[in-house]
A and B are shown apart, each in its own frame.
Chain A
Amino acid sequence: MDMNKTTHSGNRGLRFEEPLIFELDSPGATAVDIDPPGHNLDRLGGLRRAGDIGLPGLSEPEVVRHYTRLSQKNYSIDSGFYPLGSCTMKHNPRLNEKMARLPGLADIHPFQPVSTVQGALRLMDTLATWLKELTGLPAVALSPAAGAHGELCGLMAIRAAHQDHGQDLRTVVLVPESAHGTNPATAAICGYSVEAIPANASGRVDVDALKARLGPDVAAVMITNPNTCGLFETEARAIADAVHEAGAYFYMDGANFNAIVGRVTLAELGVDAMHINLHKTFSTPHGGGGPGAGPTVLSEALAAYAPVPFVVHDAKGMHLAEHAGAADAPDSFGRMKGFQGQFGVFVRALSYMLSLGKDGLRQASGDAVLNANYLRVRLSEELTFAFDGICMHEALFDDRFLKGTGVSTLDFAKAMIDEGFHPPTMYFPLVVHGALLMEPTETESKETLDQFCESVLALARKAKQGDQAEAFQAAPVLTPRRRLDETQAARKPVLRWKPEPLRQAAE
């Protein structure tokens, strides 16, 4: 096959070069016909915009083709295996999309009288019931918009509780070295200083080091469980007890909840707060970066501090507590999100939960862990598994198997792209050298996993030949673009299109 075959158009069969919308501009064109207003009376107070905005004009067929062609340059779960560790890229059922578009759920306004949205409140209440039941905790704040936002919700509730109890001197949050970057970033926004807790030789929190650091200045401990190495923190309960003993709270990062849904409750693990990524565990689509939702379950000790809004049962049915400090939310720490939370995401997640039921959720976590362990065992034939033993929903490999080959983790991952797979998470967690973190999820068939394993094993054997570094460093070669120059992008940032004269002036 001649990979370098050039064409007059620059296109290659089904692979199209696609300009920016600004380069497709046909001035005056539009894809939306709008009848002119019936009058031109103006009550703008002299603030009518002067001059053009500079938006391009395109017809509807041009717009549809533009985005269709761009979409074809994306890898997605719909098109292939996406074992991106810690991201839970599972199948996104289209039923969820259909439900979110029911006019009675999509076309409702956040400030309709509550008497006209009782169904929406009942839906939120039902979702809350599922989340509370699955975690065994008594309260849930639905409004956080994503995982990191949920972390902030949990820490703010913790801080409010400490303040309420006169514990203002607790200023430190302990976070394992292997944690997601959002954990320390969130603690900092909450006004806490962050101290790292080391991992032990088995890839889990060093409980002795943690216990030694606990004291009257510690406000909370944030632990991801299963952790970012894909391992269950077997000492979770002991950690929780020690944390409580020391007067602090136990925050569990629920990014990896998919591994344990239906198999253990957080109440059993002594958790005070945990966010749940509906866009991971409960199948709502990632959409190229979002939106998500990060409902945060809270223990009895923290429940009263939950942010507004939340659903309250009353004599007429349900209403929303919308004001922190009001009679229906006296101790709420405030509001985190405009309107009533990520309602459209709630609909999708509930649609998924109802589809699986408690039995299906348990089967899903079982299959997720089965798939990950299958990858662990099969790939260990050539790759080096980071920590021995059974893993949970994701399998963590390091780069020992590449030692002396001249091939880096990055090169290896890029070669997987040419094989038609999305690479695993690379270089995370930081506690492992050259990490490759693979999370297959439960929605992949054995055939897909086998094909992936055979391809990855073949790549590993190729790398180990010792003279293949250049080939790996050149990968990927079969993609719409080769490796991109990130140094240039960062040294001379070009973050938007500009008309040609401005662009030249800028250079």
Chain B
Amino acid sequence: MRYLPLTDADRSAMLATIGVSSIDDLFAELPPGKPDFDLPTRKTELDVERALQSFARQNMSCADVPSFLGAGNYRHHTPASLDHLIQRGEFLTAYTPYQPEISQGTLQTIYEFQSQVALITGMEIANASMYDGATACAEAAAMACRVTKRNTVLLSGSVHPHYRDVTETQLKHLDLDIECLAPDPMGIEDLIGRVDESLACVVVQNPGFFGHLRDYAALANACQSAGALLVVCVAEPVSLGLVTPPGAMGADIVVGEGQSLAGPASFGGPGVGLFATREKYIRQMPGRLCGETVDEDGQRGFVLTLSTREQHIRREKATSNICTNSGLIALAFSVHMTLLGEAGFTQLAEVNHANAVTLAERLEDIGGVRVLPSAFFNEFAVSLPKPAAEVVEALAEKRILCGVPASRFYPSCEELENVLLITATELTSHDDMDDLIAGLNQVL
């Protein structure tokens, strides 16, 4: 077997050293008997490739068709050097940097990642990553309860339904009240009127699930007056190249999904959860943190720090149970941010927005189609004259992935039956838009 270096001669010599006669003797403490599995035996590399290609061929790849899919997961161009760098074995095949003397590469990249996330969100500090945006949102709500010593969480209808579901699930046994507001396709929800001194936090998303961009500065003020925290989710980090960051609006915790800058969607995972907050809340923060220090020779170096918050030391009193995080995806995110730089990140965001504006205008020319948000970034909900799921299926037949129907998330909500989420990015060409418009004109 190509991954197993021991030869039969090695095995015999080692068994003799150990003083047993067979490998099976080493398993004498296991229950007797050899289980028989209904599974195939080993395959050559070529045969494995064939097997996996057969799965791949049954999928419609977004690379091959016009795609307008978003809803929290966005497709962007990835520079070739990004994938090259994250596949360097020294990054790819290292463990968590527990031995800092031989992990300065990973540690410095984490430090740079934390710095980049803090900068783009407009926050003071960020951690080394969570699993994804949804779990980061749940961790933020739990943290807000620890910070405020209150136990009511208010989730806006702007929050991605998966973030909402994960937050409800993860917090359900912690004696907290999670209040979820109805989905808000029109972006008219009043949150300020609901803020009171019982709340640990209000959780919003910007741009919202239906694409609305909103100014949450007044909400932040209301929260602050009431002693509650404002948690802002960012599902599309490219928006931060163009839009006022949550930190500037007064957010206390910003969480997000970094996938869109970190590489292919890969059916939605693995992603990377972004988590940023104010320095004063640092000890209530979940997840790993990397900090700057010096070595014995006085040279600058980096270490994992403040680990007494974490499960391996604090056990049942830890701020979270997270151990393995999304290190490599965080690296990919960071490399992409470094490749873009200030200029590239801003330009990328500009192009995304411009393409979305162009597409919105063209859609508005179709009778019966209405773009719901007045302000958006690269995604917006549209109202169609017929059920969106039917339109999606009909266009998929024409090999166009025209968007995500809101009914996929809210199957029993009639108000949303005709609502479709549509995204345009730098990858959306004018030909793609032509195909979409033509396709919609045929099926509507």
Contacts and interface: CB of A to CB of B under 8 A. Distances in A.
A370 B305 contact: no
A143 B395 CA distance: 29
Interface stretch (B25-33, B147-155, B191-199, B224-232): B25-33
Contacts of A337: 131-132, 134-135, 166, 269
A234 interface: yes
Nearest to B117: A496
B1 A288 contact: no
B344 A147 contact: no
A440 B331 CA distance: 27
A78 B89 contact: yes
A110 interface: yes
A483 B101 contact: yes
28 contacts: A31-B341, A36-B351, A46-B215, A71-B91, A77-B94, A78-B92, A95-B49, A104-B53, A109-B62, A112-B60, A116-B396, A180-B311, A189-B320, A285-B328, A286-B93, A286-B324, A288-B95, A289-B128, A289-B288, A335-B165, A337-B166, A338-B133, A357-B40, A374-B14, A442-B6, A446-B6, A479-B101, A485-B295
Interface string A323-356: 1101000000111111111111101001100111
Chain B CB within 10 Å, residue with most, of A52, A371, A442, A484: A484
B426 to A, nearest CB: 7
A148 B17 contact: no
Given A43-B356, A71-B88, 15 more contacts: A18-B108, A30-B347, A50-B244, A53-B120, A71-B91, A74-B94, A79-B89, A84-B98, A91-B3, A104-B59, A156-B169, A185-B315, A291-B272, A373-B14, A495-B290
Contact of A488 (B26, B95, B294): B294
A1 interface: no
A180 B311 CA distance: 8
Contacts, number: 720
Contact of A63 (B90, B119, B338, B351): B338
Interface in B47-74: 47-49, 51-64, 67, 69, 71-73
Given A106-B264, A363-B1, A417-B102, A354 B40 contact: yes
Contacts of B129: 289-290
B313 interface: yes
Given A43-B360, A344-B266, A58 B99 contact: no
Interface stretch (A205-213, A242-250, A256-264, A459-467): A256-264
Interface string B252-293: 000001000001111111111000000000100000111111
A137 B14 CA distance: 34
A422 B97 CA distance: 11
B305 A57 contact: no
A322 B18 CA distance: 51
Query: Which 8 residue pairs of A and B lie closest in terms of their CB atoms, listed nearest first?
Result: A45-B375, A339-B268, A287-B328, A104-B56, A289-B327, A119-B58, A110-B268, A78-B89
Contacts of A301: none
A367 B420 CA distance: 54
A27 interface: yes
Given A92-B93, A339-B269, A360 B41 contact: yes
Contacts of B265: 106-110
Given A73-B104, A76-B92, A113-B392, A373 B26 contact: yes
Contact of B27 (A191, A263, A371, A474): A263
A181 B56 contact: no
Given A188-B316, A288-B95, A488-B294, A350 B52 contact: yes
B42 A43 contact: no
Contact of A263 (B35, B244, B310): B35
B18 A374 contact: yes
Contacts of B439: none
Given A34-B347, A47-B213, A93 B3 contact: yes
Per DSSP, chain A at the interface is loop
Nearest to A393: B26
Contacts of B59: 104-105, 108, 116-120
Interface residues on A, range: 35 or more
A334 B40 contact: no
B351 A37 contact: yes
B144 interface: no
A136 interface: yes
B357 interface: yes
A265 B268 contact: no
B394 to A, nearest CB: 10
A269 interface: yes
B267 A75 contact: no
Nearest to A326: B411
B337 interface: yes
B267 A493 contact: no
A151 interface: yes
B404 interface: yes
A237 interface: yes
B437 interface: no
A457 interface: no
B266 A30 contact: no
A187 interface: yes
Contacts of B271: 338-339
A108 B267 CA distance: 5
A279 interface: yes
A292 interface: yes
Contacts of A357: 39-43
A29 interface: yes
Contacts of B29: 232, 234, 390
Interface in A148-185: 148-149, 151-152, 156, 159, 180-182, 184-185
B317 to A, nearest CB: 7
A90 B93 CA distance: 9
A105 B360 CA distance: 30
A255 B83 CA distance: 29
A289 B20 CA distance: 37
Interface in A361-389: 363-364, 366-367, 369-371, 373-374, 376-378
Chain B CB within 10 Å, residue with most, of A180, A324, A474, A482: A482
A130 interface: yes
Contacts of A58: 338-339, 341
A82 interface: yes
A424 B103 CA distance: 15
A480 to B, nearest CB: 5
Contacts of A376: 18
A71 B90 contact: yes
A486 interface: yes
A496 to B, nearest CB: 4
B266 A29 contact: no
B187 to A, nearest CB: 10
Nearest to A82: B95
Nearest to A189: B321
A55 interface: yes
Given A53-B342, A107-B75, A118-B58, A63 B48 contact: no
Interface in B122-159: 124-126, 128-129, 131-135
B6 A288 contact: no
B270 A345 contact: yes
B438 to A, nearest CB: 19
A112 B408 contact: no
